[in-house]
A and B are shown apart, each in its own frame.
Chain A
């Protein structure tokens, strides 16, 4: 073919300038947000440096900043998160399965449930705190200011997150897997239990961990349901006497509002601890996601 020669013009100067300019602008945005975060972390670390040590883990809070520690807050947080996990995993996963596998979307009540769950995820956490106070701590269940009430309140708060991420994980299992299983004569329940759920576990687990790492940093609802700011024992159960609890964010909040500078250092140390815990949990979530990523 001897058609007219094709001329491939070089990129115009203006286009190139625009391209480079845009790249610089984006880089600056990234730098800005990253530097704020880094400044925050460095500042907290510097503040915490003098008091970081094993006594944070071994000592109880005290009016004397020299010997004050975080042990009850650490245990309290672990207890609450444990209760929260036990509460949200079965309910969240079951709801996700119902909505993905059974709910008929042409029925208005199923759509209503769906919209409600999405809205619940956006409700301010203090509202859940008030709910917990009214229904769990006092009111119908009247549990008192105990670990169970704190854990369930945080559970209600993050349940929508678990449900939504669980649904995504279940939806990501291709229909061909369900068809293959059903075509072998497996029942719907066998298909869900033995094929769909195992295949979606990495996604579900990731969602649960991210939900828990949101719960771990929540302060407002715990203040409302009555986490202790000064406590001299570790929780020994989830209900009854001895199930009172402190929590890391509450302790931090309390120390920051103290007038002495020494307590601010302690608060910074608490923040470092909380951040460390969060990074670990998110690390596990990322690991799970990458390790078990299915290539359909």
Chain B
């Protein structure tokens, strides 16, 4: 396991880019110049292209008009207050919203250029490629080994299962801790280990993208640190999208950040989530273009 010291690496890469234009330069040009230079640095290929994306639940608008490109081998963070629709958007990306009968998706998502919501696309096929880690660790009520092996088995992956399991656990930095008790029930693990098990479970099916829905919100700071380290390591092989309530976490791990708000202009009973700003993380946290973003990240609201 290499020791990646994540906060510095992610931040310092982006720092010069943000620093140079100066804080007081007029908004739009800065944003444009910045995201271009930022986009060239690690990757230029978009995994997801979101276009006018919105979701309604039973006719009620939950989130509206989200347009953004999420890039390969980057960690994209979604931040914003509760109810702003960031988890909803995340769940669109692997069509988990299909499981909610009242949910309707509008707009489009392109995944490597292909329309994710095309009627010919099988949602199961989508979820094979786009894995997900949930807010609360949700190991299956089975042994550690069977937790990992379940995915490869149902997908009919070929190969030595022991090897697949070991590889997945190693990649999730969990192997050393559990190698002697692979056959014990996963519920016997600590919360942080359970969450890394869920990540390992997701890695075992070799996805292209990993979606994480507040993966650390139920964990202590040490477990959180381990998972953050892991994420930074994993982004070499995967693209990661993470929803987080923890702004420091977004600042520490992500390359790009999307800030969402709850729009109350249609009345208190009509809370609509909207994307306010999407840019390089360093820019969002040090020199955001929108005053609402600034208020949020500096802790004036929310």
Interfacial residues, chain A to chain B (CB-CB below 8 A)? 104, 174, 176-187, 190, 194-195, 198-199, 294-296
Contact = CB atoms under 8 A, between A and B. Distances in A.
A183 B99 CA distance: 11
Contact of A184 (B125, B136, B151, B187): B151
Contacts of A182: 96, 99, 124, 127
A294 B155 CA distance: 26
Contacts of A195: 140, 150
Contacts of A184: 127-128, 131, 150-151, 154-155, 201-202, 205
B205 A185 contact: yes
Interface string B110-141: 00000000000000110111011010101111
A181 B205 CA distance: 12
B138 A179 contact: yes
Contacts of B187: 295
B101 A180 contact: no
Main secondary structure of the interface of B (DSSP, over half): helix
Contacts of A180: 134, 138-140, 198, 201
B94 interface: yes
Interface of B: 94, 96, 99, 101, 124-125, 127-129, 131-132, 134, 136, 138-142, 150-151, 154-155, 187, 198, 201-202, 205
Contacts of A199: 140-141
Nearest to A187: B124
Contacts of A294: 141
B29 to A, nearest CB: 41
B154 A183 contact: no
B134 A179 contact: yes
A184 B123 CA distance: 11
Main secondary structure of the interface of A (DSSP, over half): helix
Nearest to B126: A185
Contacts of B139: 180
A182 B211 CA distance: 13
16 contacts: A176-B134, A177-B138, A177-B140, A178-B99, A180-B134, A180-B198, A181-B154, A182-B96, A183-B134, A184-B155, A184-B201, A186-B154, A194-B154, A198-B142, A199-B141, A296-B141
A174 B155 CA distance: 23
A183 B96 contact: yes
Contacts of B151: 184-186
Contacts of B140: 177, 180-181, 195, 199
Contacts of B150: 181, 184, 186, 194-195
- Most chain B beta-carbon neighbours within 10 Å: one of A178, A183, A186, A198: A183
Contacts of B205: 184-185
A198 B141 CA distance: 9
- Most chain A beta-carbon neighbours within 10 Å: one of B129, B150, B201: B150
Nearest to B152: A184
A185 B155 contact: yes
Nearest 7 interchain pairs by C-beta? A185-B128, A176-B138, A183-B132, A184-B151, A180-B138, A186-B154, A185-B127
B138 A174 contact: yes
A289 to B, nearest CB: 15
A194 to B, nearest CB: 7
Nearest to A183: B132
A27 B201 CA distance: 53
B88 to A, nearest CB: 14
A170 B269 CA distance: 34
Contacts of B141: 177, 198-199, 294, 296
A187 B123 CA distance: 9
A188 to B, nearest CB: 8
